[in-house]
Amino acid sequence: MGFSLLPKEFNLFILFNKQAQYAVDAAVLFSQLTAKGTFDTETVQKMRDIEHQADEICHEIIQRLNKTFITPFDREDIHALTTELDSVTDMIYTIANRMKVYKIVAIDADLMEFSIIIEKSVRALAKAIEGLSDSKHPNVVIDSCIEVNRLENIGDTMRDAILAKLFETAHDPIFLIKWKELYQFAEMVLDICEDVAHIVESIMVKQA
């Protein structure tokens, strides 16, 4: 495959890897926050900065895509990939920010467990995206995508168990409203990661 035919100024793979790295950075900060178990505004501020920078890369990819005639894979796939990848970082930041809005002080172990799965999933995504530019090892891409799907299934089961526990034990409806939303947002990150993995898989299959 002749990726070298691409004009240097639109090195899509470098931009995608950068964008994926921002998602990893956001996921790592989120893991650190939940591992500490206490909310802190500083970490959320850092996540906000990352979210802004990730947004700019996404915007840059779309701008360049619109001005470029030859692309290494389908335009629709590039557009979908950058948009969905942006949603991953957005959604991770949204959880942390919503905790701030809800004045959450103590973060429970269930959200921490979610953050571990999220970090794993985002790292697998970053590996899959990195693999897209290396046509010699397609299995790295495929295996990483399978891992993202596996983690999404785990997340589904986790959310069900955690929601069941929440509805059984919580007696304060306002407490329940807050945490129900936070857990559902956490599971949504894994859903969005799976969407990204599907796009990556489609790109791979078309290139085969």
CB of 121 to a second copy, least distance (A): 19
- All residues at 6 or more sequence positions from 9 whose CB lies less than 8 Å from its CB, including other chains: 64
153-166: burial string, b at 16+ Cβ within 10 Å, e else:
eebeebbeebbeeb
User: Which of 14, 175 has the CB closer to a second copy?
Assistant: 175
Alpha helices in 37-74 (DSSP H): 41-67
Greatest Cα pair distance, the chain, in angstroms, is 62
Site string for a second copy, 1-40 (x = CB under 8 A): ----------------------------------------
CA-CA distances (angstroms) from residue 48 to 98, 106, 172? Answer: 12, 21, 30
Q: How far apart are CA 116 and CA 98, in angstroms?
A: 19
CB of 146 to a second copy, least distance (A): 12
Return the residue of 97, 140, 143, 146 that touches a second copy, per CB under 8 A.
97
The footprint of a second copy on residues 38-67 (CB under 8 A) is 62-63, 66-67
Interface positions with a second copy (CB under 8 A): 62-63, 66-67, 76, 97, 100-103, 160, 163-164, 167-168, 170, 173-174, 176-178, 180, 198, 202, 205-206, 208
